[in-house]
Amino acid sequence: MGENYQRMAAGDWYLPDDPQLAADSARRAELCARYNAPGPLPPEDREAILRELLGEVGDGVRIRPPFHCDFGHHIRIGAGTFVNFGAVFLDTAPITVGADVQIGPNVQLLAPEHALDPDLRRAGWERGLPVTIGDNVWLGGGVIVCPGVTIGANTVVGAGSVVVRDLPAGVLAVGNPARIVRVLGPEESGPGR
């Protein structure tokens, strides 16, 4: 395992030119191409590809293609989660999605962070910061979750929002940058509750 791969795995700054990273990326590209292939694919085949691609897939997870990621094996998705069309999960660090999460179309979960210093950025330095989505979160269409962000359980993030800071459990957040607009009460839980 190369030095840059070890640095990435440790959450340190690294250069993404490591042979192991290239091999992992090639593996991901092949699996994503199979998963995203046009035409019908039996559900059990799609599930088998997901289980090979991702680090952990809970029961009843549904991800509509196309789905894209950096490596795949840093992604863990809890049972009953639904991911709509066009998701991009850049997993240069762990991305953890809880159980029963609803993810709208074209959502991006972004772990990579690039250097602010222009010389370091030009040289290609980056690092990954973990992204964590709690149980029963709803991310509306087009939401972007930035590196190092944690979103607490039962939180709703409005469509098109950009989440740059942690959000606590049980709130509604909207905007760019996403701001908490209110705490969600039990009466907003849905039908029959």
Catalytic site residue 114? Answer: yes
Structure tokens at 28: 């991901």
Q: Count CA atoms closer than 13 A to 78's CA, side-chain side.
A: 15
First vs last C-alpha separation in the chain: 51
Alpha-carbon gap, residue 85 to 156, rounded angstroms: 19
User: 4: closest CA among 130, 129, 126, 148?
Assistant: 126
In whole angstroms, what separates CA 49 from the centre of its chain? 17
Q: Annotated catalytic residue: which of 68, 73, 74, 114? A: 114
Residues involved in catalysis: 114
